[in-house]
Structure 1
Amino acid sequence: MKKVLISAGEPSGDLHGGSLIRELKKLVEVEFYGMGGDRMREAGCHILYDCSGLSVVGFSEIFSKLRRLREASRTLNRFMLEEKPSLVVLIDYPGFNLRLARMAKAKSIPVVYYVAPQVWAWGNWRIRAIEKYVDELICILPFETDFYRRYSVRTTFVGHPLLDSVSSELCGADFREQFRLEKEKILIGLLPGSRREEVRRILPIMLEVKRSLEQLLEAQFVLIVFPGVNSEVRAMLGKHATNMTIVENRTHEAIKHSDILLCTSGTVTLEALILGTPMLILYKVSFLSWLIGRLLVKIPCIGLVNIIAGKEIAREFVQFAAKPSKIVDASVRLLNTRATVEDELRSVRGKLGERGAAKKAAVVVTQMLTRCS
């Protein structure tokens, strides 16, 4: 039986990998191996290296992960040498995965890249590596195909995979009742991130914002916590835990039922976009990462919702601008203009494409398997 090697280095990639594997199983008889997490394992992938804890925020933070990244690279390279898989599928995580693509090409193994590297934002030098080592690029953002077609890269746009896993229809109407939240009272969502580095830098700011808003508004708060950072979050809460409901494993419902959301940059901004919740975006990394980012990042916005919109519809508070007083003022303004922002979000939501991203991506992967058989 054919073998396919799949590499995902972050929770979002693990999620997309699991969905892709399930769709591929409907189309072709193959065995799946790779780097991933629980979602890929549950879908039937033999996990050669667990990606838990490999995700990083910023540029300098990667140094703390170097030993594990080398281990993962050696493990996957050894598998390619010994088992000679028919195909390598890479999911996001470009710093690691483009090196893996080079290793695969050196062994004449075809490469499909699902969730294209965001070289349009930074890392333009990676275009050459993509041209050289990637046989098929699967894009999930609407403007990416036009960008990559300027170069000799085969691309397919499949829509964003979040459209299949995030839906207002799946969010129970009785969320507030279940968590004993008042129906008529303002609900402000706080989402400090899924990575330890994010939580350590962002949560203290959010807690200061909460304290100030409590003095200005009759509001209640919901803190959205991911399992991997639960202990860090609870240790940091202290006296701030009053007037706040902690929610775990109900992320989408908590976002949907919040009147506004304070969140980190990244995938969560698209989840809020799909669910129609107005948001403010907070981003803070180490000084070194911020300095490197200033030199490398070429786009004016960091939030995906703003990048897709082509303008700032979700106010961004980046690094030194992430001051509690500014965020408090912006929160009050956002509550007062919520209806207008919701209309803008509905307009931008249509740019994400249609549902069925994993299904369409599976067709592309299957076609590649057929060509290389």
Structure 2
Amino acid sequence: MRITVVTGEPSGRLYAGLVEEALAVAAPDTEIIRLEAAGHHDTVLGFTEGVRSAPRLTRRLSAVGRRIAGLGPDLVLLVGFSNFNLPLGRACRRVGLPVAFLAPPQLWAWGSWRCALLRRAADLVICLFPFEADWLRRRRVRAVFTGNPLVDAVRAGEGRTARSTRKMTLERLGMSQDQRYIAFLPGSRPSELTHHNRLFDTIEIPSYLCLRIAPDSPLAPHRYDLLAHADAAVIVSGTATLEAALLGLPQVVCYHLGGPTRLLARLMVRPRC
């Protein structure tokens, strides 16, 4: 069996990697081909930011669609990155390719009208949360919840962390073992890093080291160890908030948007589950 996996942002790559590891064990004869939907600067969140990146994504959409058609996979697995993967899924299904969508857009938070787009884009939607699958099925989307692969990843990280004490972790990173610290995670998209690094630059907490863990930081490979031993965290809403929760870390969740996007979000976001 040949599966083409399409990702476009860091969280999607994380989930895709976990699925690929599981398939390597459960179905070792499966051939998996990973395609990247976009470059680093195309992974944006926000209305105005999305408009600016649209021409690049449109060109990339055509190229990825042609590549998938040439590969002729038995299944196309789309992971997150809905602005790109929803139209890509429709294009794949039009030429007869079966499509599964892992980590769908959070339509229960805003834009529930996009359920029709999701129905046309995927034969099966694989949700990360049980309530999400129930919500989508009530809106005639074929959706399932089979567990969240991040849970296993964090458990594996906890196993490594259990063998690494706070003292060992801090010494390995050249920090004082008595240092109390709060972890700051500014997100992964370029726009998130820009907005939140500016915000985090203004924060000082007496008696605590504010330890910033960005995706390209030398601290990133030690993220689970650092989160497990932190006193608390300030985290940009996203996959990292779930990771911290699974590790039992007290956290403040934040998200800072640009002015036009913030105004539109206040008008449009209406969580209803």
> Given the two structures, how large is their TM-score scaled by the length of structure 2?
0.88
Match of 1:275 among 236, 247, 259: 247
Any conservation in 1 of the 2:38–2:57 contact (CA below 8 Å)?
A: no
Query: How many pairs does the alignment contain?
Result: 266
2:11 is aligned with 1:18: no
- Contact kept in structure 2, 1:191 and 1:263, CA below 8 Å: yes
Structure 1 spans left out of the alignment, 5+ residues: 37-48, 231-245, 301-306, 308-373
Residues in 2 aligned to 1:117 and 1:221: alpha-carbon distance in whole angstroms? 32
Residues 164-194 of structure 1: CA deviation (Å, up to 9, x unaligned): 2223332221212323444444311122222
State the partner residue of 1:44: none
Match of 1:196 among 190, 207, 210: 190
- Does residue 124 in structure 1 map to residue 112 in structure 2? yes
Conserved in 1, the CA contact under 8 Å of 2:119 and 2:141?
yes
RMSD, aligned CA: 2.2
- 1:266 to 2:244 alignment: no
Change (3 A) 1:64 1:271: same
Give yes or no for the alignment of 1:149 onto 2:148. no
Structure-to-structure mapping, 1:133-212, within 5 angstroms = 133-167=121-155, 168-171=158-161, 172-173=164-165, 174-210=168-204
1:297 and 2:265 are equivalent in the alignment: no
Deviation at 1:106, TM superposition (A): 1.0
What is the CA–CA distance in structure 1 between the aligned matches of 2:31 and 2:56, rounded to whole Å? 25
Moved beyond 6 Å, runs of 4+: none
Deviation at 1:10? 0.5
SS of residue paired to 1:53: helix
2:258 to 268, 273, 286: 286
Shift of 1:105: 1.6
The alpha-carbon deviation at position 152 of structure 1 amounts to 2.4
Q: 1:163 to 1:296 in 2, by over 3 A?
A: same
Alignment match, 1:85: 73
Does structure 2 retain, via aligned residues, the 8 Å contact 1:222–1:247? no
Superposed, 1:343-358 pairs within 5 Å as none
Number of the residue aligned with 1:219 = 208
Aligned to 1:101: 89
The answer to whether the 8 A contact 1:176-1:257 is kept is no
Match of 1:334 in 2: none
User: Contact (CA 8 Å) 1:202, 1:282: kept in 2 or not?
Assistant: no
Shift of the 79–196 alpha-carbon distance from structure 1 to 2, 3 Å rule, reads closer
Unaligned residue ranges in structure 2 (runs of 5+): none
Change in Cα spacing, 1:50 to 1:292, as seen in structure 2 (3 Å) is: closer
Alignment of 1:301-320 (within 5 A): none
Q: Residue in 1 aligned with 2:33?
A: 33
Is the contact made by 1:8 and 1:51 (CA closer than 8 Å) also made in structure 2?
no
Q: Residue by residue, what CA displacement relative to the aligned partner does 1:320-350 show, whole Å, maximum 9, x if unpaired?
A: xxxxxxxxxxxxxxxxxxxxxxxxxxxxxxx
CA distance in 2, matches of 1:23, 1:54: 28
Residues 19 and 149, structure 2, Cα contact 8 Å, conserved in 1 = no
